[in-house]
Structures are given as structure tokens and as C-alpha cells.
Structure 1
Amino acid sequence: MIKGKIYDLAKIISINNLILGEKSQIDDFCFINSGKKTEIGRNVHIASFTTIVGGGECVIGDFAGLSAGCRIITASDDFSGPFLTNPTVHESFTNVKSSKVEIGRHAIIGTNSIIFPGVSIGEGCAVGAGAVIRKSLKPWTVYAVIDGRLKELKKRDMVSVLDAERQYLESEYA
């Protein structure tokens, strides 16, 4: 079900498995493989050059944002065993592992960040540009890459963000 806007130059694979909430937007030059299921809440912005790949499940909560060039990976080949490892090979010869990726409400993911399979980004979490996210992140926490490592910086003000959401939803703009 598509309620938001998908710009003309965005490419969506398996669009029947995509749920796009009201007032959400997928910009030009995004690539999304909806695979099993991709569920994007309301008022979500997915900026240009972002990709959601792997064909696994991805859920993005209301009011979240993916900045330009983000990569969400929902599945990966098993490189350790006696398998072939690319999409040109029939699936009976590969061992692709998919794991749901969840991005919480009000989460913000910075430009060119990469999220790996099985990761949950907590509600209200903010991640600076260029992060490589291999493990789940805490809600209402600000993270940034410092000296090549993702570090927890401070807490985000949950009360003020949720108050702003309430005001918005009660306004004529919602």
C-alpha cells in the first residue's frame, strides 16, 4: 500500500511488498528491493542515493530519516562455506542469510551510513555521517564516528521530540 510519494527516478523492486505511509517520501535515485517486506511509516524521508538491498525485511518507524547515500543491508551471502555467492547463481547453490533491520520512530541516520542485517536502531536514535552499524543501537542516543569508531555521545531529548510530534499531529499540517 503506497500512501506517500515515490519520485519518478527511484527504483523499487517487488513494489507489492512495500508499505509506504502517509506523507513519506522516497527521493530520486534511491534503490529499494522490497523482498520479503519493506514497511515505511508516516512522515519518513529517504534521501537520494539511499539503497535498501538484500531482499530481507526492513521496518522504518514514523518520522525517521535516512540521509543521502545510506545503505541498509537486509541479507548477506555466507562466505564461509562451500557455497556460491552471487545473485546470478540459483538459490540452491547459495546460502543467503537474511535478518530483519528495524529503524525506530524518530531515528535519524546520517549521510553514507551503512546498516547491516539484524540491526535495530532504537527509537529516537541519531547517528552521524559515515557510520558502519553492525550492532543494535540504544533508543534516544546520539552516536558519531570518532577516530574511525562509532561512539555514544549523549542522550537525545525524548520529551521535546515527542511533544513536537504531538503538536504537529494536532496541527493543520498533519
Structure 2
Amino acid sequence: MRIGDFFAINHNSSITFNGDLDIGNYVMIGPGVTITTSGHSFNNKEIMRFQKDTYKKIVIEDDVWIGANAVILPGVTIAKGTVVGAGSVVTKNTEPYSIVVGNHAKVIGYRGETEQCIS
């Protein structure tokens, strides 16, 4: 695990990393955010509890803001400058300076395009 400079995490957030986790500089994480590098396999009918855990690296690049109650799933790279809207579920990599919202998170714009407020 690596955490960059000027990292800020708010209350009730959870980071679990059985896999690798890389957090850049100037990253802000809002309250209630969940970041996890692990998941479960469900490829067969074996009892779920006994199926193997899976682990995938998460990368959060520099200057990222993750809004309240967002969920970042295994294997994702949050690109430089990305804003993740509150309550979003990020299942795929983001583009630099994108603003993503929803479940599954989708691009609604890019930082610097217009004056926007994501709450």
C-alpha cells in the first residue's frame, strides 16, 4: 500500500486492501466511502463462503475527490483529477479529469468544462 502526500479521508470511510492499493497526492475521500481490493468468486455452485477470494489492485491517481458514500471496486484506476459523485459505484477505470456519477458510474462531464456543483 502507498499513500501520497496531502491525503484526506473523512469519517466512516473504509479501506480494505488484501490486494495492492496505490493512492496518489492531494486525494480527498468523503464520509462513508468504501474502497476494497477484494471480492468473491461465484463461478460455481459451491457454498459462497467457501469460494476463493479474489484480489485486484486499485489505483487512485493524484488530485482525486471521491464524494460521500461512493464505492470503489477491485481492479479500478481512478485517473488524475477525477471527481466521483456522492453515492457512485465505480466498477471501471475513469478518464483524467472526468466527473463520474451513478451506479455504475458514468461520465457526465470533465473538470474545467463548466461551473458545476456535485453534492
TM-score, normalization: structure 2? 0.84
Q: Say whether the 8 Å CA contact 2:3–2:22 is kept in structure 1.
A: yes
From the superposition, tell whether residues 83 and 39 of structure 1 become closer, same or farther in structure 2 (CA, over 3 Å).
Answer: farther
Which residue of structure 2 lines up, in the alignment, with residue 74 of structure 1?
37
| Number of equivalenced pairs | 112
**Matched-pair contact (CA < 8 Å) for 2:91–2:105:** no
1:115 to 72, 78, 86: 72
Structure having the higher Rg: 1
The percent identity for this pair of structures is: 29
Matching of residues 1-174 of structure 1 within 5 Å: 38-81=1-44, 83=46, 85-86=48-49, 94-145=51-102, 150-157=105-112
Cα distance per residue 1:28-62 (max 9 Å; x no partner):
xxxxxxxxxx2110001011111112511111100
Q: 1:54 to 1:41 in 2, by over 3 A?
A: closer
RMSD value, Cα: 1.8
Aligned amino acid, residue 62 of structure 2 = R
Describe the superposition over 1:97-139 as per-residue Cα deviations: whole angstroms up to 9, x where unpaired: 1000011100111100001100000000001100011111111
- For the 8 Å contact 1:63–1:106, the answer to whether it is kept is yes
In structure 1, what residue type is equivalent to 2:4?
G
In structure 2, what is the Cα distance between the partners aligned to 1:57 and 1:108?
Answer: 20
Which structure 2 residue ranges, 5 or more long, are not aligned?
A: 113-119
Structure 1 residues 75 and 122 mapped into 2: Cα distance closer, same or farther (>3 Å)?
Answer: same
Higher relative contact order (CA 8 A, sep 6+): 2
Judging changes above 3 Å, is the alpha-carbon distance between structure 1 residues 45 and 79 closer, same or farther for their aligned structure 2 residues? Answer: same
| Greater helix fraction, Structure 1 or Structure 2 | 1
Dislocated runs of 4+, deviation >6 Å = none
**Which runs of no fewer than 5 residues in structure 1 stay unpaired?**
1-37, 87-92, 158-174
